[in-house]
Structure 1
Amino acid sequence: MKVKELIDPVTLSWRFNVLLALYSEEEVSMIRSMPICFRLPADRLIWHFHNRGLYMVKSGYNVARKLVQSPSLSASTSNSDGNSYTKLWKSVWKAKVPPKVKVFVWKASQSILPTKVNLAKKGVSLEVRCAMCNEVPETKGDVLKECSFAWDVWFTSPIRLRLVSVRDNSIKEWLISLVDQHEVDLDIFCMLLWAVWQERNAKV
């Protein structure tokens, strides 16, 4: 998706409903605070951590170090699972998967994916049943591990996960348990999690 698809070319304002369907409330607030240029220039890729918008390996390395060390990307120190979640995110960050998959896994663990239930909470009018099995409400956990489609994917995958013991766990708790117990190849797990979500998106 390009930035221009998020902007109404007539009113020169952000398309609020589109933003809500794609991003968390905090992200929507940040996006709407950005001024829109009346010239509507063509989209182009920039690296906003560099004053000329150019990606440099050195700046990329510095940003990666800050992300790993940032307390905002780990659980609050007041949480009992803070250390476990820090370990989880460091493991995910080191995984040999595309960056978009790492970000997706982090969003899934934070319960901020645009599932039907999350969208309904933000006022979007839609049927909240899971798009894959059409049986349970589509929360972040249902679509990734609890509906019949997800069960089939995990059981028939190379890592052959059995989900009975984690049905009541959040995605974050599930990920932490997998990392702590070294049960599975995290690279394969992250890609399968991503694939389940992409299949859901295609169905929707």
Structure 2
Amino acid sequence: MASQGLVRSGCRRRIGNGRTTQIWAHPWLPDSQDPYVSTEQPAPNQGMVVADLVDDATGAWNSNLIQQIFNARDASLINKLPLNDTYDDLWYWEGDISGNYSVRCGYRRLGDAMAPNSQVWSSVWKLKIPPNWKNFMWITLSNILPTLDNLIKKRVDLVNVCPVCGLVEENVMHVLVSCTYGSLVWNRLQLPIPPFNGNNFLFWAELWLGGASALDCDVRGRICGVLHGIWSARNSAVWNGYLPTPTALCCRLSSSWAAWKVYGTGPRSPQVQRQSGLHANQMQNGLACYVDAAFHNNHQNATYGFLVMEEDGSYVAVANGPMVCPYDPLMAEAMAVSEALSWLKNNGYTAVTLFTDSAVLVTSLSNAHCFRSYIGFVLDSCIRLISSMPGTLVTHVR
């Protein structure tokens, strides 16, 4: 029953023709926190479906009717939704860009629901550290790290004795910070970590990751790396029967951090050179079009812009304008590409290479048939336009 509630919490209605989605009964507004209409339902409007809000003559939202019926919040959200009457309404999963539910998506949503409201979370995502360290911190701060005490809570039959020191029961705070092995590691590295009294890892993390911490991002990143390294050493002891010495682990951690600082962050000139060559080769096929999208001001209004150039780099055209789009960066990028393709086709161009800074969008165009979310509308439109313009392609550029 709990799993059913989890799945229901992420289910949304994608509006196509609007004929099967009830306005007040279904979750269909583009708001991840509250997808239901908040306007009180007028008695005469019981049973209204979304199609009743569409102007039959134009196929667009009936803005006057929407303003009359709904409060400002609901009206704004409705007007941001794209309409496409060639599709039926359907259910999709809000936690995945393609709109498809998976166990992984459910697990992520469960972790988000369990996550406390803390500045620690935003601090972790802002750190320039390896992605696997960020994932590790998310799991640890959510208290779903598979320590022995957490496994016992999941009814795994085992004896809770720390596999590293063998002296006390294992929990997150013990294995990562206060265990004799971990203490030796922390002492050797001499990082300015706060005292670790008690078993509340989140409270301890707030002392060095929270907004009141005076530590710089470099030190915070190194602390995250040490925590990940200690957990990896613990797993080595459990699964391989081998525990590296504190000195060996400290040397490995220092080397890993130094390598990350050199190779893991910032632009790399060899990649830039390869990309420049890629542009030159692709532009030989015809025109080049650079496309981008953005959201502006507190109302998160979406806009697009594109620049068209000849093979030799000479100027052809530039255009920009607003888009009706919910706050979804990937969808905005897809709509911007669709706008550029439409302009190019209407002006008689073919064999155009479109450059976008969204690698996810380029990959999504190859799997458009899998999309149940609103992005599927736009991807289908892009594919139809590309098919009608021989030699045209969309590629990624940094």
Distance 2:233 2:132 in 1: 16
1:97 partner letter = I
Q: Is 2:173 the partner of 1:141? A: yes
| Equivalent in the alignment of 1:63 | none
Q: CA deviation at 1:142?
A: 0.8
Match of 2:223 among 179, 183, 189: 189
Name which structure has the greater RCO, CA cutoff 8 Å, separation 6+. Answer: 1
Distance 2:149 2:168 in 1: 11
Match of 1:119 among 151, 154, 160: 151
Q: In 2 relative to 1, CA 74–122 (structure 1 residues): closer, same or farther, beyond 3 Å?
A: closer
Q: CA deviation at 1:158?
A: 4.5
Distance 2:155 2:233 in 1: 24
Q: Secondary structure at the match of 2:146?
A: coil
Q: In 2 relative to 1, CA 123–73 (structure 1 residues): closer, same or farther, beyond 3 Å?
A: closer
Q: Conserved in 2, the CA contact under 8 Å of 1:145 and 1:167? A: no
Distance 1:49 1:117 in 2: 34
Q: Conserved in 2, the CA contact under 8 Å of 1:154 and 1:160? A: no
Could you list the per-position Cα deviations for residues 57-98 of structure 1 after superposition, in whole angstroms to 9, with x for gaps in the alignment? xxxxxxxxxx9xxx74852xxxxxx3xx1x211111011112
Q: CA deviation at 1:143?
A: 0.4
| Equivalent in the alignment of 2:208 | 178
Q: What RMSD over aligned residues (CA atoms) do the two structures have, in Å?
A: 2.8
Distance 2:190 2:128 in 1: 17
2:185 partner letter = V
Q: Secondary structure at the match of 1:166?
A: coil
Match of 1:159 among 191, 198, 201: 191
| Equivalent in the alignment of 2:162 | 130
* Greater than 4 Å deviation, 4+ residue runs: 71-74
Which stretches in structure 1 are left out of the alignment for 5+ residues? 1-24, 31-47, 53-66, 76-81
Q: Secondary structure at the match of 1:172?
A: helix
Q: Conserved in 1, the CA contact under 8 Å of 2:175 and 2:182? A: yes
| Equivalent in the alignment of 2:232 | 198
Q: TM-score, normalised by structure 1?
A: 0.57
Match of 2:122 among 86, 90, 95: 90
Q: Conserved in 1, the CA contact under 8 Å of 2:162 and 2:168? A: yes
Bigger helix fraction? 1
Q: Secondary structure at the match of 2:150?
A: helix
Q: Secondary structure at the match of 1:144?
A: helix
Count, aligned residues: 133
2:137 partner letter = V
Which stretches in structure 2 are left out of the alignment for 5+ residues? 8-95, 101-107, 239-398
1:170 partner letter = N
| Equivalent in the alignment of 2:302 | none
Q: CA deviation at 1:51?
A: 7.1
Q: CA deviation at 1:157?
A: 1.2
Could you list the per-position Cα deviations for residues 24-82 of structure 1 after superposition, in whole angstroms to 9, with x for gaps in the alignment? x97xx98xxxxxxxxxxxxxxxxx52479xxxxxxxxxxxxxx9xxx74852xxxxxx3
Distance 1:73 1:101 in 2: 20
Q: CA deviation at 1:148?
A: 0.3
Distance 1:182 1:159 in 2: 13
Q: TM-score, normalised by structure 2?
A: 0.30
2:222 partner letter = I
Q: Conserved in 1, the CA contact under 8 Å of 2:176 and 2:230? A: yes
Q: Conserved in 2, the CA contact under 8 Å of 1:129 and 1:137? A: yes
Larger-gyration structure (1/2): 2
Q: Secondary structure at the match of 1:114?
A: coil
Q: In 2 relative to 1, CA 128–74 (structure 1 residues): closer, same or farther, beyond 3 Å?
A: closer
